[in-house]
């Protein structure tokens, strides 16, 4: 099968399209004929070698963490899907190929395109996991630091669907985008507390840091308690008493939640760009720029 592989850690150019052996579904897994995958920042970190201690890589390795496609093999014990079903979900690694094995999935809701389903993998699981970690926020106000990216744009929509008032940070260029998702936009950076106070004079009840940009102590001060702040990207979180959320925990339940909102029309994953398999390095370079709006995809 064709796959995007790398033989050494390095910049996006280490990614090449090659022939690779097909994987097969083991117990509790499904194999899909892949239609599209999303590029997640973790892929960039794995490719660059930054995750080598945590996520071991055996070369040559296929890059990619999530995918959407048509089920073509069902492992022992799997009863919720059959060959021919369209699913989106997560893998242990190695999805950017004609076939990939998923270990958590949900059926693609009818309103979503293939591209939207691809955009909903790790990002939507992480958004749901993080919001769940903050408890019931219905009727409350949530500050999302980094609201325009893959996880942020999913979290804004899912929180709004849960009846939460969302204040989201982004650069000025993304403020109309955040408004279109139902959030109140403000800019990130120095002076954040003052800008939050302007739009939320009664304060905010919780904060979700997707950016990992060093603002976590400010978020704790703005909320007034570290127990109502979560981060997915700041490895100093524990020192501040903030939970560092793992987006792939409870993945099957999280994806099912995201799919339910997709069916209801209240969550539509955002796709900024899609690159063909041969341009995987360009897709990585795009995300590496740090200013993706929604998700960047690789399509087959
Ligand atoms: N713990 C986990 O399980 C888990 C799961 C998924 C992701 N992550 C991590 O979470 C982070 C975000 O992931 P993602 O997929 O959402 O990334 P992404 O889509 O690449 O994020 C890009 C967004 O970040 C915003 N941004 C850039 N600098 C910012 C700053 N200083 N303050 C606030 N926002 C800023 C950009 O907004 P502007 O363009 O408007 O500047 C852009 O919309 C990554 O580090 C990723 O590795 C962790």
Mutate to test the pocket of ligand 1, among 37, 39, 40, 41 (most ligand atoms within 8 A of CB): 41
Would you say domain 124-244 falls under CATH 3.40.50.720?
Answer: yes
Question: Backbone phi, then psi, for 41, in 5-degree steps?
Answer: -55, -30
Report the pLDDT value the prediction gives residue 204, as an integer from 0 to 100.
98
Ligand 1 midpoint to CA 121 (Å): 15
Of 67, 64, 9, 59, which is closest to residue 42 (Cα–Cα)? 64
The finding on whether 149 has its CB within 6 A of some atom of ligand 1 is yes
Tokens 């850690």 found at: 9
pLDDT tens for the 300 residues of the chain, in order: 999 999 999 999 999 999 999 999 999 999 999 999 999 999 999 999 999 999 899 999 999 999 999 999 999 999 999 999 999 999 999 999 999 999 999 999 999 999 999 999 999 999 999 999 999 999 999 999 999 999 999 999 999 999 999 999 999 999 999 999 999 999 999 999 999 999 999 999 999 999 999 999 999 999 999 999 999 999 999 999 999 999 999 999 999 999 999 999 999 999 999 999 999 999 999 999 999 999 999 999
DSSP code string of 80-130 = S--TT-EEEEE-SS--SBSEEEESEEEEPPTT--HHHHHHTSHHHHHHHHH
Report the pLDDT value the prediction gives residue 152, as an integer from 0 to 100.
98
Domain limits, CATH 3.40.50.720, in the chain: 124-244
Rounded Cα gap, residues 227 and 133, in angstroms: 10
- Give the predicted TM-score (pTM) of the model: 0.98
Which residues have CB under 8 Å from 300's CB, separation 6+? 2, 34, 35, 36, 98, 277
CATH class of segment(s) 2-120+269-299: alpha beta
The finding on whether 212 has its CB within 6 A of some atom of ligand 1 is yes
- The Cβ of residue 251 has, within 10 Å, a number of other Cβ atoms equal to 25
Instruction: Dump pLDDT digits (tens) for 34-80.
Output: 999 999 999 999 999 999 999 899 999 999 999 999 999 999 999 99
The finding on whether 94 has its CB within 6 A of some atom of ligand 1 is no
Domain limits, CATH 3.90.180.10, in the chain: 2-120+269-299
Rounded Cα gap, residues 4 and 55, in angstroms: 18
- The Cβ of residue 93 has, within 10 Å, a number of other Cβ atoms equal to 20
Mutate to test the pocket of ligand 1, among 44, 90, 104, 146 (most ligand atoms within 8 A of CB): 146
């Amino acid at each position: 099968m064709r796959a995007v592989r790398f033989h050494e850690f390095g910049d996006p150019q280490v990614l090449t399209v090659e022939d690779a052996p097909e994987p097969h579904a083991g117990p509790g897994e499904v194999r899909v004929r892949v239609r599209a995958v999303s590029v997640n920042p973790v892929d960039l970190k794995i490719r660059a070698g930054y995750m080598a201690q945590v996520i071991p890589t055996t070369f040559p390795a296929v890059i990619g963490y999530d995918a959407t496609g048509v089920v073509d093999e069902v492992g022992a014990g799997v009863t919720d899907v059959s060959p021919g079903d369209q699913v989106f979900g997560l893998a242990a690694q190695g999805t950017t190929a004609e076939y990939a094995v998923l270990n958590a999935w949900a059926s693609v809701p009818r309103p979503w395109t293939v591209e939207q389903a691809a955009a909903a993998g790790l990002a939507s699981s992480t958004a749901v996991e993080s919001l769940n970690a903050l408890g019931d926020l219905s009727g409350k106000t949530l500050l999302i630091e980094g609201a325009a990216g893959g996880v942020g744009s999913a979290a804004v929509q899912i929180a709004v669907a849960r009846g939460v008032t969302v204040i989201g940070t982004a650069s000025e260029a993304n403020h109309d985008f955040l408004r279109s998702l139902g959030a109140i936009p403000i800019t990130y950076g120095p002076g954040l507390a003052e800008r939050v106070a302007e739009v939320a004079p009664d304060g905010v009840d919780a904060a979700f840091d997707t950016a990992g940009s060093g603002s976590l102590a400010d978020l704790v001060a703005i909320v007034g308690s570290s127990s109502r702040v979560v981060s997915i990207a700041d490895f100093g979180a524990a020192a501040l008493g903030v939970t560092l959320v793992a987006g792939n925990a409870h993945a099957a339940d999280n994806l099912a939640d995201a799919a339910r909102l997709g069916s209801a029309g209240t969550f539509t994953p955002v796709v900024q760009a899609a690159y063909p398999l041969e341009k995987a390095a360009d897709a990585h370079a795009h995300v590496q720029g740090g200013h993706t709006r929604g998700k960047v995809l690789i399509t087959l």
